[in-house]
Structure formats: structure tokens, C-alpha cells
Amino acid sequence: MALVEIPIGPQHPALHEPIMLKVRTDGEDVVEVTVNTGYNHRGIEKILEKNSWVRGMYIAGRVCGICNAVHVQTYVQGVEKLMGVEPPPRANYIRTIVMELERIHSHILISAVMAEITGFATLFMLMMRDRERVMYLKELVTGNRVHADIHTFGGVKRDLDEVRRSRILDELEKVEERLKYYKRVFETDYTIVRRLSEVGRIRKSEALRLSVVGPTLRGSGVKSDVRFEDPYAAYSEIPFNPVYRDEGDSWARMMVRLDEALESVGIVRHALERLPQGPAVPKAVPRAAKPGEVFSRVEAPRGELIYHIVSTGGTNPYRVKIRTPSFLNILNTESTYLGHRLADVPVIFASYDPCVSCTERVLVVDERSGRRTYMSLRELARVGSK
């Protein structure tokens, strides 16, 4: 058997983030895949620890450009526990609206990327056009198209007036109509169904063993959704149906996302129609937290997102540890490529909706003493060149 190693990455024509998949093939058959990361490490956890709680809100929102609001939600709700602060109901509803608009945007984006990877350029452009519509709705709520930056300790920075509320409800009708159309395309288009079905299958028991999360987990029939299991923000007051499929293949993962996007439309509509009266913007923002330790989690578009925050008191955190969903979904799924053709690798990889920027981690361990050290990028580059 003559094996050939084919590098996919670190630069990709469709997924514009640096990551390397070293694919070993026997002819066209994939026999081994190794995922190489480390091209985009920014040391963001240490940056959080060197800055104040308030500055941390903005830093957490820069972990990921696509799902920035959920990162800030996870950080803020954890810090609020340390500060003994409870946001008012109206603020929780507005937070929920922003996070669900972000989920719709994220799911449309990866569906468009999948269309591009399978050669469906027209569908890609149509979905990207409608993605702009969702970003416009996010801007109506937060004032920003990309980074929401609406969270603050004890509430939100900006209330939602009746004019913008009505406009969002009107635009949601158009978004819902387009999502239903895209769902029909993914269900019926010959090329998409043939390229995605029976490709990259993860059975239920394997999904649990690999510890995958989010649509990747739910696409294998595992009923797990933080919004339902451990409600936060306003999810305990808003009815919705978590989406699951049993096929476990790349097609099932994409269908879960499209169905979830439709559920998100319903969540946003329900929140807007029943938006509680009362204050949403706090009069003052606390600056210091009590000593303690919290474990905060939410259901990000890609799956369970966790922040472990440690405080020794004062205006800065002692430790902030972030466990992103893509950290599990990218690194634990190398075996799912085996037995497929080389052309299937990009499809399987995209079906996990990988986010590289929020996954990168560097930890240097001295093999002799076991001591963990932190290094500057220049120092790390010197070590890597030896």
C-alpha cells in the first residue's frame, strides 16, 4: 500500500481560517487524518486576566466574530454571580433576542459555506444575501452589525423601542420564508443530498464517546441543549422545540442547523411580542467582584460554551478558562474521515461548523519538571524553530 500525505490547509478557499488537516490516502481512500492547530493563538485568556471585569466584556466578545454575543453572555452571567447582580426580565429578553439572531446568522453562514464547498455557487450567494438581512436585524437591536456589545453587568446597554421592535417583527417574516426555502433545497437538491448523505456518520454511542456538542451531537440523535437543560437569560419562559435527527451524517448536521434557525425565528418572535415592561439598562455598573469561583455555560450556535471564572476579589479576574464547542468538534473527530474519499474531507469538516479562532490554545509544559509556563509569541517562535 503506497500512502500519500495530502495537506489540506492551513489556508482554505472556503473556510477562511488557518488550520491544517494532514490527510493520508491510499489512492482516493482516506486512511488517516491528523488535525494541526496553533496558527492563530492570541492568548486571549491571559488578556482577560490582565484586564478589569468591565474591559473583559469587550475582550470576551472578540473571541469569535460570528458568535460574539454568546461569549459575552457566558462571561457576564458568570461575573454577575460573583457580583451578586441579577439582570431585570426585560434585559434577559433582549439578551435572548440578540443571541437567537446570532444563531440564525451563524447557521445561515455555515450552510452557505457548505453550498460553496459542494460547488453550488448560486445558493452560496443567495444565502449570503439573506445573511445580511439577519445582520441588519441585529443592528436594529444592538446598534452594531457584527459585534453586539450590548451586554453589561446587571442588564443591557441599549433598550428596544416600539419602532425597532415592529420593524424586526416584519423582517422576521421574510427571514422565515427564506429559511424554509433553503431547508427545501437541502432536503431535495440531488447534488447536496448525494454529497452529504452517508458521509461522516457519527452514531449516537460514538458521539457520546467523542464528547462532540451542539448540532453535531444533536445530529446523531443525542438530546442535549443547554437552553433546555439549564436555562439562562429568558429561555425558561420561552417555548421552543430542541431539534434532533438520528441519521448522524453530514446532511443531518446541516438539517439540524436549518431547523434550529427556524426555531430561533419563533423564539425571537415570542420574545418581541411578550417583551416585559420595566427597566433594561442599569443606572450604574458594578466594578468589583467578591472572591469566588463560577462555572458558566450557554448553548452557542456550535454547541455548549463554558467559562470557568475565578475571582480573588477586586476589579480583575484571577483566572478565566474558556472551553469552546469547536475545541471538541474539531479535535475529537479525526476518525470520522476514515473510509471516505478524499473529496469528502472538506464536506465532513465543514459539517462540524468549525471555528478556529476560538479554538486555538497554547500551553508549554517542561517535560522534566512538568511545570507549566507562559511565553511571548517571540519566545514561542524561537522554541518552535529549534
Domain of 296 in residue numbering reads as 44-309
Alpha-carbon distance 347 to 154, whole Å? 42
Alpha-carbon distance 42 to 51, whole Å? 15
Res 159: pLDDT:
97
Domain membership flag for residue 333: no
What number of H helices and E strands is found in the chain?
A: 14, 10
Alpha-carbon distance 364 to 74, whole Å? 27
Coil, helix or strand at residue 35: strand
Domain membership flag for residue 380: no
Q: How confident is the model at residue 365 (pLDDT cuts 50, 70, 90)?
A: low
Question: Greater confidence, 215 or 43?
Answer: 215
Beta strands (DSSP E) in the chain are 4-8, 20-26, 29-36, 151-152, 155-156, 292-300, 303-311, 319-323, 364-365, 372-373
Domain membership flag for residue 48: yes
Average pLDDT over residues 355-362: 74
pLDDT tens per residue, range 104-120 = 999 999 999 999 999 99
Domain membership flag for residue 11: no
Q: How confident is the model at residue 338 (pLDDT cuts 50, 70, 90)?
A: very high
Alpha-carbon distance 310 to 327, whole Å? 21
Res 371: pLDDT:
65
Amino acid at 187: E
Cβ burial 254-276 (10 Å sphere, 16+ → b, else e): bbbbbbbbbbbbbbbbbbbeebe
Q: What is the DSSP annotation of 136-167?
A: HHHHHHHS-SS----EETTEESS---HHHHHH
Res 384: pLDDT:
45
Domain membership flag for residue 233: yes
Question: Greater confidence, 257 or 17?
Answer: 257
The gap between the terminal CA atoms of the chain, to the nearest Å, is 33
The conformation of residue 354, written as its DSSP 8-state character, comes to -
Domain membership flag for residue 200: yes
The conformation of residue 341, written as its DSSP 8-state character, comes to B
Instruction: Give the number of domains in the chain.
Output: 1
CATH (domain of 184): 1.10.645.10
Alpha-carbon distance 154 to 83, whole Å? 9
Pick from 320, 306, 307: nearest CA to 48: 320
Domain membership flag for residue 375: no
Alpha-carbon distance 7 to 25, whole Å? 11
Average pLDDT, the chain: 91
Question: pLDDT exceeding 70 applies to what percent of the chain?
Answer: 92
User: For residues 6 and 23, is the Cβ–Cβ distance under 8 A?
Assistant: yes
User: For residues 213 and 328, is the Cβ–Cβ distance under 8 A?
Assistant: yes
Coil, helix or strand at residue 21: strand
Q: How confident is the model at residue 11 (pLDDT cuts 50, 70, 90)?
A: confident
Res 374: pLDDT:
55
pLDDT tens per residue, range 45-86 = 889 999 999 999 999 999 998 999 999 999 999 999 999 999
**Could you tell me the CA-to-CA distances from 382 to 27, 39, 369, 386 in Å, in that order?**
38, 15, 21, 7
Amino acid at 366: D
Domain membership flag for residue 296: yes
Amino acid at 142: T
Average pLDDT over residues 202-220: 97
Alpha-carbon distance 263 to 266, whole Å? 5
Res 386: pLDDT:
41
